[in-house]
Structure 1
């Protein structure tokens, strides 16, 4: 629809994929009034995924809502590496779960897992519950490990974590749809981007089973520092990089 009014409005608002976005909005809208509302929201800068209410992630349709971090394609490497280390029936905890996309994708890749998620943001907890509870998952509101059932201590096979890792001063340079429409708590990783990673790594040993793994998404530039954070907490570490999705993960292991 290269000449449609919707394409023209999206292009004027700065969309570099106006034709693709317009096609998706037209396909998702049930009425012309709904289409108009969706276009207005997108032109105002709301992330496309929030406008349509879902994002494709690892081949799954994950529900998204306003005020929740939108999963990025680069995070698919976190799922790939977790799936390579896991097994069906594994105990998986998705910390800082947001929509629950990582947990849901690991569940799908492994053919079913015992799944838990936590997030400090109430909107994220509601969203993740809608995505994970149909899979048998449980989602808790609170700070990192704090809301998890005590019975999980020493039982977790995979801790999968997409914690905030944008350095505080770098948030101002992020695209407007991220810095203006996603909670800063989901972006801000502190001065060097590893504040939350440090807290996650420090608490991991108490929750991981013997031979269990902690996997944290990070950036190419921060990977060495994230690996240091793991070492400081007594975890071995390996850096994995996936160029096809521009994703980086550091994997830590608790010795058997």
Structure 2
């Protein structure tokens, strides 16, 4: 991963001739230095993940747009640090909101990741392979569920770049929080990206990823290692999520413990779907062969 210092918030940084990044001022333990909005194009634009409904970030985006036509406001997923800024931006630019499908979560369980944007309502949902284009650029939707059920990445065919949202980030592994997050889907989406030849990833958080295939292989290995840890702990009689997290995440910032618990639960649900473990209330155990 790139260890260079982050750019200041609100500053337009050209990453390559067709791509400009603006960092939102919403740094936190879950967003790292903040949400990164990417502008694609030169004479006309797509705005990827306009971020939170923040006055300073909105003003920075308008300065960067500088009156150019906005063809689309493109959303990777429906978390509150990615999509709420779309509504005001759409009103002021006239651009349609498109990308990830809307989602209504019926479960009221605990949340570790950014809250859902309950008001997210795209004008157009993009399915796998659908494209949005402008002068000299085209973005193709790549379905990458796992972090959320509706997560999309977007490939910029002209340069070999992939806007990876929160599926692959430049600073940490993605939180997979059931019921909307699904570990089996997340792993399958990583395998899908591993089979592609994208040159660089521009994530929603953290700096650009210049050797993406290497990172994706590392993420797959990391998740398989976590799965192995869980099975070993179950074999030792450690059968509840909090006890597993205590053993697996030594020294973790306590503010991130809820996220760790949700990811361990996601692994357990995936193992249960594969008939390797079973639940008895809040206790888990290995299925005897």
TM-score range, shorter chain: 0.3 to 0.5
Higher relative CO (Cα under 8 Å, sequence separation at least 6) belongs to: 1
Scaled by the length of structure 2, what TM-score is found? 0.29
Larger helix proportion, structure 1 or 2?
Answer: 1
